[in-house]
């Protein structure tokens, strides 16, 4: 069991390092067996969070994402609405102050059965 956990941690570290080194706008943490978003990732990504526009967390065991996740990655643009709509336990997602594309703003409301908090189009987050 410890070996599998170690492999999962190494997989996450490898994927995060690839994102930082390549300057990619995508962080792919799919199939990493995450039960929460690792706090250490915020430190490793602190210099590149503004350029990350897509985060893939598919096929993990996440129960929630903290407000720190949403405030750290405030440049997300694409939201997989159809995947969110298929999550029966999801009650609320806060995507305020993200530059969401127009498609998400139009398609999401009729498809989802939970609260999706969004800022008005073009709104900017208050300075820290």
Q: Average pLDDT of 120-125? A: 69
Please tell me the distance from the alpha carbon of residue 11 to that of residue 110, in angstroms, as a whole number. 37
Closest CA to 45 of 69, 66, 65, 64: 69
Task: Report the b/e string of 22-60 with b at 16+ CB within 10 A.
Answer: eeeeebbbeebebeebbeebeeebeebeeebbbbebeeb
pTM of the predicted protein model: 0.65
Could you report the per-residue pLDDT of 52-110, keeping only the tens digit for each? Answer: 888 888 888 887 777 788 778 777 776 676 777 776 777 777 777 777 777 777 767 76
Lowest-confidence range among 28-32, 46-50, 86-90, 124-128? 124-128
In the prediction, which pLDDT does 22 show? Answer: 92
């Amino acid at each position: 069991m410890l070996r599998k956990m170690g492999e999962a941690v190494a997989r996450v570290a490898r994927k995060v390092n690839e994102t930082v080194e390549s300057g990619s706008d995508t962080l792919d943490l799919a199939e990493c067996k995450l039960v929460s978003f690792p706090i250490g990732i915020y430190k490793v990504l602190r210099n590149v969070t503004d350029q990350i526009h897509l985060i893939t967390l598919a096929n993990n065991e996440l129960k929630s994402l903290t407000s720190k996740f949403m405030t750290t990655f405030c440049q997300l643009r694409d939201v997989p609405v159809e995947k969110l709509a298929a999550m029966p336990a999801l009650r609320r997602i806060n995507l305020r102050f993200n530059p969401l594309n127009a498609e998400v703003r139009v398609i999401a409301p009729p498809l989802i059965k939970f609260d999706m908090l969004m800022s008005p189009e073009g709104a900017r987050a208050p300075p820290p």
